Amino acid sequence: MYQYDQYDQAMVDTRVAEFRDQTARRLDGRISEEAFRPLRLMNGLYLQLHAYMLRVAIPYGTLSGAQMRLLGDIADKYDRGYGHFTTRQNIQYNWIKLSEAPDILADLATVEMHAIQTSGNCIRNISADQYAGAAADEITDPRPYAELLRQWSSFHPEFCALPRKFKFAVIGSETDRAAMRLHDIGIQIVRNAAGELGCAFYVGGGMGRTPMIAPLINAFVPLDQLITYSEACLRVYNRYGRRDNKYKARIKILVHELGKDEYTRQVEAEFAHLLTQNIEPPLAEFARIKAFFADPAFDPAAPDAMPNGDPAFLRWVKANTAAHKARGYAIAVISLKPAGGIPGDASADQIRTMADLARDYSFDEARVTHTQNIVLPHVRKADLFALWQKLVDADLATANLDSIGDIIACPGLDYCSLANARSIPVAQRISEKFAAPVRQDAIGELKLKISGCINACGHHHAGHIGILGVDRKGVENYQLSLGGSEGADCSLGTITGPGFSEDGIVTAVEQVTEVYLAQKQGEERFLDTYRRIGMAPFKEAIYG
Amino acid sequence: MVEPQLRFRDDAPVDSPAIGLADFTAGSNVAAVRIEAGEDARLLLPHLASLRLVEIVFPAFTDGRGMSAARVLREAGYAGELRAVGAVLVDQLAAMRRCGFDAFAPAKPLDAKDAEAALARWGIVYQSAADGVRPIWALRHAAAG
């Protein structure tokens, strides 16, 4: 894992002092709320329906045990005893006092953490493949690239008042587990014909009210030009992105309106100019960062046989583990989606338990996924049973990864001031309805995603089943869409038709799964069946 | 004409008002020009040697286009005064200095002590910009080499 040196530490310490000063000036009236708003947002502090919400950055979703433990302690000390893991691989606390926010940042700084640029119209936390450094199918670990981008983008003076927020994702595998092409910039590390590593740049993806899949604008940016190329992409956006309409201000609109070719031409011209400015960190800096992400000391003698035993354990192994690159190891995922629970929530005790498990079973490392679960990336297969037993004791052993119960949901109208409808109760009712293991297993892989408004924080466009909450004449109404996907086969869902009440949407989801089970051929997943048979049979079942 | 509240230059200020970009590029030979947000600072590049003051207007503190305009001019070698005009707040001064501004004419006067503290706060930086400050990566590798 990356570790701060004196410079990194000085940056977060300075930030704590700066935000303490800004908060003091806000509290004594020297800064107006209007002027304070972008300052607090650039530090992840939102004013929600009931209180301030603080979003803490977890760069590329990677955490040490000590960092995880502190997140649990913050939940106890400053919040109501729980935290909420987000689709940006971050964590949010929903009940924060403004006067205490600087103290939380000071606590975070003691374990090399911060809340820098977790909100606001700036470059946000860089996300990455949650299985980075562990996945069997990886070309290279994307996190050193993400860390290089993190440092470059932190307090970038030119890009602190962009037209809108800006999100990067970096992957290093052919399999896309980070919804890379649904980001403002998605970077895939690739190898060229000469065997060198470089970056494929996909620019202008996003969800929100106008979802778009990012086009490829450069298939191979050499590694020692990554920062310069990123700067060129951002400069063109900062200068020409729309500022007249908040809903047309994301880079996807600029790329769409200019056309991919014209945007690319402008970026290439800016890039040629910026290459003369020597803004690129040397490869020695990349090498320094990369050294922190070296493999942990895997035991070459670790037994490779999957342990046998309790059927509930075997079911969890099948659902919640993935192939590891090292013999004798597995990637284990802790689901934060118990039936009837709030997706992504964990209590302070659970967070501390996960910190202990990361330390004891996974080389002191954990990951947050964009699907709001926690990964223990490097677990010996021989330890899986002991790990599972501890998860059972902590109510963390739900075996439902990528199944219909593994729902992504935004905070919705229960917390969020932008929401039109509640997301959490819908997620709770659906996960309860499909809680029976037999039923869940019959349905298999089915990614269900719920957003409480058009901003799409719950990624509903990319759900095999997507649910969007809207306000219809003062009543919550839910639109259903089918056929979205966030992976390498990225696609956007199609709306089935008129929306539903809260009861109606739960019934409609059930009907959709029944059509799938009746029509499925062989090993088809829900998405495969939908793509083969199309919308009509589903429509007929739910409206007919 | 707008008097800067803060100015970090030793030369004498230009004493004539800045004119708009359209008038300037139409053939004026004054030494002071004003760029509104959304205007292309690169149109000034053929004239940099004769310019002594460029005012860049910030219509709202949430509008960062002027940051890119400033860097574009500095990267092209402009050495005259670069003045941020309009919605300029205390907490933006440090980033503006980094982008190449060396004078500030905020629409609402800034608290002098707060401004001084804000400008003094960031001793080290992560990235190259227009202020010539060596970024952290350069410090790291100078120390190692």
Q: Does the structure show a pLDDT above 70 at B143?
A: no
Cβ distance B65 to A25 less than 8 Å, yes or no, reads no
- Spatial distance between the Cα atoms of B71 and B77, rounded to a whole number of angstroms: 10
Cβ distance A14 to B122 less than 8 Å, yes or no, reads yes
B63 touching A (Cβ < 8 Å): yes
Cβ distance A243 to B65 less than 8 Å, yes or no, reads yes
Q: Does the structure show a pLDDT above 50 at A203?
A: yes
Lookup: tokens for B103: 């004078």
Looking at beta carbons, which residues of chain B come within 8 Å of A164?
A: none
Looking at beta carbons, which residues of chain B come within 8 Å of A160?
A: 64, 67, 92, 95
Q: Does the structure show a pLDDT above 80 at B130?
A: yes
- Angle at which helices A283-291 and B136-144 cross, to 10°: 80
Q: Tens digit of pLDDT for each residue in B34-62? A: 999 999 999 999 999 999 999 999 999 99
Q: Tens digit of pLDDT for each residue in A221-239? A: 999 999 999 999 999 999 9
Looking at beta carbons, which residues of chain A come within 8 Å of B140?
A: 5, 7, 285, 288
> pLDDT > 90: what percent of chain A?
93
* Cα–Cα distances in angstroms (integers) from residue A55 to residues A88, A211, B19, in the given order: 10, 24, 45
Q: Note whether residue A120 is domain-resident.
A: no
Cβ distance A35 to B68 less than 8 Å, yes or no, reads no
Neighbours of A10 (CB within 10 A): 15
Residue type, A18: E
Cβ distance B141 to A35 less than 8 Å, yes or no, reads no
B75 touching A (Cβ < 8 Å): yes
Looking at beta carbons, which residues of chain B come within 8 Å of A38?
A: 61-62
- Report the CATH number that the domain containing residue A71 is assigned in CATH: 3.90.480.20
Q: Does the structure show a pLDDT above 70 at A449?
A: yes
Of A38, A156, A282, the CB nearest to B62: A38
Cβ distance B64 to A159 less than 8 Å, yes or no, reads yes
Segment A274-285 mean pLDDT: 97
Segment A122-144 mean pLDDT: 96
Strands (E), A145-226: 168-171, 185-191, 197-203, 216-222
Segment A403-422 mean pLDDT: 93
Q: Note whether residue A12 is domain-resident.
A: yes
Measured in degrees and rounded to the nearest 5, phi and psi for residue A448 equal: -110, 130
Looking at beta carbons, which residues of chain B come within 8 Å of A238?
A: 64-65, 67-68
Cβ distance A155 to B126 less than 8 Å, yes or no, reads yes
- Spatial distance between the Cα atoms of A426 and A403, rounded to a whole number of angstroms: 16
Q: How far is A56 from chain B (nearest CA, A)?
A: 20
**CA nearest to A151 within chain B:** B126
In sequence order, the 6+-apart residues with CB closer than 8 A to the CB of A468 are A450, A451, A453, A454, A456, A460, A478, A479, A481
Q: How far is A153 from chain B (nearest CA, A)?
A: 8
Q: Note whether residue B115 is domain-resident.
A: yes
Range of the domain at B71: 6-144
Looking at beta carbons, which residues of chain A come within 8 Å of B99?
A: 157-158
Segment A65-72 mean pLDDT: 98
Cβ distance B64 to A162 less than 8 Å, yes or no, reads yes
The count of domains in chain A is 4
| pLDDT reported for residue B1 | 57
Cβ distance B95 to A155 less than 8 Å, yes or no, reads yes
Residue of A20, A151, A158, A285 to mutate when probing chain B, most B C-beta within 10 A:
A158
> Binning pLDDT at 50, 70 and 90, where does residue B145 land?
very low
Q: How far is B92 from chain A (nearest CA, A)?
A: 9
**CA nearest to B138 within chain A:** A281
If asked whether residues A350 and A285 sit together in one domain, one would say no
If asked whether residues A12 and A70 sit together in one domain, one would say yes
- Report the CATH number that the domain containing residue A480 is assigned in CATH: 3.30.413.10
For residue A70, give the nearest of A351, A478, A286 by alpha carbon: A351
If asked whether residues A220 and A149 sit together in one domain, one would say yes
Q: Note whether residue A165 is domain-resident.
A: yes
Looking at beta carbons, which residues of chain B come within 8 Å of A7?
A: 124, 136, 139-140
Cβ distance A238 to B67 less than 8 Å, yes or no, reads yes
Q: Note whether residue B1 is domain-resident.
A: no
Q: Note whether residue B12 is domain-resident.
A: yes
Q: Does the structure show a pLDDT above 60 at A118?
A: yes
Paired with A55 in beta bridges are A92
Q: Tens digit of pLDDT for each residue in B8-30? A: 999 999 988 999 999 998 888 79
In sequence order, the 6+-apart residues with CB closer than 8 A to the CB of A194 are none
For residue A116, give the nearest of A266, A13, A190, A219 by alpha carbon: A13
If asked whether residues A154 and A274 sit together in one domain, one would say yes
**CA nearest to B136 within chain A:** A7
B25 touching A (Cβ < 8 Å): no
The count of domains in chain B is 1
Looking at beta carbons, which residues of chain A come within 8 Å of B56?
A: none
Measured in degrees and rounded to the nearest 5, phi and psi for residue A292 equal: -70, -20
If asked whether residues A355 and A412 sit together in one domain, one would say no
Region of residue A418 (phi > 0: left; psi between -120 and 50: alpha; otherwise: beta):
alpha
Q: Tens digit of pLDDT for each residue in A161-189? A: 999 999 999 999 999 999 999 999 999 99
Lookup: tokens for A439: 């039923």
CB A403 within 8 A of CB A321: no
| pLDDT reported for residue A487 | 82
Of B95, B114, B124, the CB nearest to A157: B95
CB A158 within 8 A of CB A196: no
Cβ distance B67 to A35 less than 8 Å, yes or no, reads no
Segment A346-353 mean pLDDT: 98
Cβ distance A152 to B127 less than 8 Å, yes or no, reads yes
**Helix and strand numbers, DSSP H then E, in chain B:** 5, 6
If asked whether residues A275 and A161 sit together in one domain, one would say yes
Q: Note whether residue A132 is domain-resident.
A: no
For residue B101, give the nearest of B33, B145, B54, B133 by alpha carbon: B54
B64 touching A (Cβ < 8 Å): yes
From A223, A257, A290, the end of a domain falls on: A290
Cβ distance A155 to B91 less than 8 Å, yes or no, reads no
Q: How far is A91 from chain B (nearest CA, A)?
A: 24
Per-chain mean pLDDT for chain A = 96
If asked whether residues A228 and A286 sit together in one domain, one would say yes
Cβ distance B63 to A30 less than 8 Å, yes or no, reads no
If asked whether residues A280 and A153 sit together in one domain, one would say yes
Lookup: tokens for B65: 């286009």
Neighbours of A253 (CB within 10 A): 21
Q: Which of residues 102-121 of B touch A (CB under 8 A)?
A: 111, 114, 117, 121
Going edge to edge, which strands form the sheet with B6-7?
B6-7, B103-106, B81-86, B53-58, B32-35, B19-20
Strands (E), B51-144: 53-58, 81-86, 103-106
Q: Does the structure show a pLDDT above 90 at A209?
A: no
If asked whether residues A157 and A280 sit together in one domain, one would say yes
Q: Note whether residue A208 is domain-resident.
A: yes
CB A170 within 8 A of CB A187: yes
- Spatial distance between the Cα atoms of B69 and B38, rounded to a whole number of angstroms: 9
| Lowest-pLDDT choice from A303-312, A394-403, A496-505 | A303-312
| pLDDT reported for residue A309 | 82
**CA nearest to A157 within chain B:** B95
Cβ distance A284 to B135 less than 8 Å, yes or no, reads no
Looking at beta carbons, which residues of chain A come within 8 Å of B75?
A: 273, 277
| pLDDT reported for residue B120 | 96
Helices (H), A259-396: 260-274, 283-291, 311-320, 348-361, 384-393
In sequence order, the 6+-apart residues with CB closer than 8 A to the CB of A526 are A443, A444, A445, A446, A464, A465, A513, A516, A520
Q: Note whether residue B41 is domain-resident.
A: yes
CB A423 within 8 A of CB A336: no
- Report the CATH number that the domain containing residue B17 is assigned in CATH: 3.40.50
Q: Note whether residue A20 is domain-resident.
A: yes
Q: How far is A414 from chain B (nearest CA, A)?
A: 29
Q: Does the structure show a pLDDT above 90 at A47?
A: no
Range of the domain at A366: 311-393
Q: How far is B81 from chain A (nearest CA, A)?
A: 18
CB A115 within 8 A of CB A55: yes
Cβ distance B89 to A281 less than 8 Å, yes or no, reads no
If asked whether residues A184 and A270 sit together in one domain, one would say yes
Q: Tens digit of pLDDT for each residue in A363-372? A: 999 999 999 9
If asked whether residues A533 and A420 sit together in one domain, one would say yes
- Spatial distance between the Cα atoms of B59 and A244, rounded to a whole number of angstroms: 12
CB A65 within 8 A of CB A362: no
Of B98, B121, B129, the CB nearest to A18: B121
Paired with A380 in beta bridges are A329
- Spatial distance between the Cα atoms of A369 and A89, rounded to a whole number of angstroms: 5
